[in-house]
Amino acid sequence: MKNNILHFSTFVITCAMFLLSSIASGAYSTRSLNTTITLIQPYPEGVYIKLANNIHDTESCGKQGAVFLDKNHVNYNVVSAGLMTAFTTGETVSLYMKGCLNGYTKIYGVSLTK
């Protein structure tokens, strides 16, 4: 029963994050598919996220293998909750990115997959 509730909660959070972040951000330019998060580190500017695989820096931000969630993102709490869920459960994640912050590509959306 607990497992079903966790899966349903993850599904609901994923749908909400994807919907809200897509609406807020408009078009994204990069999508990183099927990666896992190996490190989450908060900073005053937002959250640094290290990924298991190197993403291609299509935004020409300069740094690869990690992304950044800007604390000024309109859905910061929702997106960061999804990132924390993916990190703590070890679930695969797809990230939608656009722009740069501190030399890293910025996250605009996230979806969790199984």
pLDDT tens-digit readout, 94-110: 888 888 888 888 888 88
What digits encode the pLDDT tens for the residues 63-82?
A: 888 889 999 999 899 899 98
**Domain boundaries in the chain?**
2-113
pLDDT band with cut points at 50, 70 and 90 for residue 22: very low
90, exposed or middle or buried, with CB in 10 Å at 0-12, 13-18, 19+? exposed
107 C-beta neighbours (distance < 10 Å), count: 29
Q: Which fold has domain 2-113?
A: OB fold (Dihydrolipoamide Acetyltransferase, E2P) (2.40.50)
